[in-house]
Copies of this chain bind each other. A is one copy, B any other.
Amino acid sequence: MTKSIQDLYPENLSYCYGCGRNNPDGLHLKTYLENDETITRYTPDPKYIAIPGAVFGGLIASLFDCHGTGSAAFFICQAENISMDSPVNVRCVTGSLKVNFIIFTPINTELEIKGKLRKIEGRKIWVDMTLTAKGELRATAELLAIRLKE
């Protein structure tokens, strides 16, 4: 899988601060599908600290937010056999997000966020996620995504 889901979003829905390719000020997160799992790798700018040495919880929530809705779009494409070679008209927003902060996430290192599908029911998609840094699990999250009507 060479294209990220954010490279497949429609132009007019690609302005998200977290992951929109058309937002010049944003984080430009990129979520990839690897078999039945999704992955985003990201190294936060050092300005995103909470207390010294630790990544700001709001940034961690932001990573899970975009990774979760992006993962949901991928999982819909898989479930409905929608081609992922060209732009797809599948876009989700967040219904709810719960983040569990397990141990501090260190700054100045690459973070790896992974997602797995729990279930799809109509326009609702549940995604379970993990955030790892330096080989250790730092946070987990569960996200309920809502598929936008076309």
A residues near B, CB below 8 A? 12-13, 15-18, 23, 25-26, 47-52, 54, 56-59, 61-63, 65-66, 91, 93-101, 148
Contact = CB atoms under 8 A, between A and B. Distances in A.
* Central interface residue in A18, A56, A94, A99, by most chain B CB within 10 Å: A56
A48 B100 CA distance: 24
Contacts of A26: 47
Interface of A is mostly: mixed
Q: How many copies of the shown chain assemble into the complex?
A: 2
B13 A49 contact: no
Contact of A58 (B47, B65, B101): B65
Contacts of A48: 17
Given A17-B58, A61-B65, A65-B58, A51 B97 contact: no
